[in-house]
Amino acid sequence: MTTYEAPVPPIARLHEAQVDFAITHIDPQALGEDFVCVPLAPVQLVLGVRNRHPLRNRRKIRDFLDAEWALPGDDGPTSSTLRLFASLGLPVPTRVIHGDSITAALALVAQMDVVGFFVEPLADDIFKRAGIRRLDLDDALPVMQICVIQRRGSQLTPAALQFIECVKEALVARS
């Protein structure tokens, strides 16, 4: 199953010149040579489960590997999920719902026994209202980068540049 917030994921839309830039959290190594990635701010990854999840008191990621997961992207060889679990010295879980919809991932985690990685600002803003618990793990989770991504050689409009500046200011104010 695959879900998307938009009809096409942001990197594909950039590649096809449907959009001028994207602001997203991403592993810059996941991008090809066609793109320029400008980091804006670090963002901590957190693990979330519904408040009544049977594994809610576990403290090691390894304890969740047999659970069902909602994870971003796809399961291809360049998948950020593959790199994420490899960086933790763990295999990718076998029961994964892949997608690019944060809304769908939040709904799955809130209403089912599904596990998901989310960025800390989202957890701070939404988890409590959604009935999701942020787990306090013994394992250190990686820090991702919120980045502006654009096609190499493309020029952004003044409006786009101003919007990016506003995002930078909001990120600074938040920290």
Which are the contacts of 14, defined by CB distance < 8 A and separation ≥ 6? 20, 21, 22, 35, 149, 150, 151
More confident residue, 167 or 5: 167
- How confident is the prediction for the chain on average, in pLDDT? 87
Highest mean pLDDT among 8-17, 26-35, 120-129: 120-129
Confidence of residue 15 (pLDDT cuts 50, 70, 90): confident
Model confidence at 82: pLDDT above 90: no
CA–CA gap between residue 145 and residue 21 (Å, rounded): 16
In the predicted model, what is the mean pLDDT of residues 115-140? 94
In the predicted model, what is the mean pLDDT of residues 142-149? 88
Confidence of residue 48 (pLDDT cuts 50, 70, 90): very high
Domains of the chain, CATH where assigned: 10-174 (3.40.190.290)
Model confidence at 13: pLDDT above 90: no
CA distances in angstroms from 106 to 17, 119, 129, 159, listed in the order given: 29, 12, 11, 31
Model confidence at 55: pLDDT above 90: yes
In the predicted model, what is the mean pLDDT of residues 54-66? 97
